[in-house]
């Protein structure tokens, strides 16, 4: 059985430097919600990568479902960020590292 996760790269828009505390609070609430519902595998902020704010790794039933989750991110919804979404096939001992 194929095992896929979805990688959301969050890219800063021109207005990113105008993010206020309330937006960050909505962003964190979204992270909590994704985690509680079992979608969030890993998430975090990048440092030292100009233009890139952070990343989520999402467990979703399909690319389309993952894209809906990305579109609901407050930073994206409110225009402070855009995103790129990539499907990643997991290589692990269960699938002999895709051999």
Between CA 16 and CA 5 the distance in angstroms is: 27
pLDDT digits (tens, 9 = 90+) for 32-75: 999 999 999 999 999 999 999 999 999 999 999 999 999 999 99
Query: Is the pLDDT at 1 greater than 80, yes or no?
Result: no
Rounded Cα–Cα distance for residues 54 and 44 (Å): 6
Domain extents in the chain: 4-92
pTM as predicted: 0.93
Cα separation of 13 and 52, whole Å?
A: 9
Cβ of 57: how many Cβ atoms within 10 Å? 17
> What is the pLDDT, as a whole number, of residue 25?
98
To the question of domain 4-92 being in CATH 3.40.50.720, the answer is: no
């Amino acid at each position: 059985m194929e095992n896929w996760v979805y990688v959301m790269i969050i890219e800063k828009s021109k207005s990113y430097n105008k993010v206020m505390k309330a937006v960050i609070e909505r962003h964190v609430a979204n992270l909590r919600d994704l985690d509680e519902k079992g979608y969030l595998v890993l998430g975090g902020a990048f440092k030292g990568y100009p233009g890139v704010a952070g990343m989520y790794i999402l467990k979703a039933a399909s690319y389309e479902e993952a894209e809906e989750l990305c579109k609901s991110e407050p930073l994206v919804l409110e225009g402070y960020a855009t995103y790129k979404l990539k499907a990643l096939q997991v290589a692990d001992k269960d699938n002999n590292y895709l051999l």
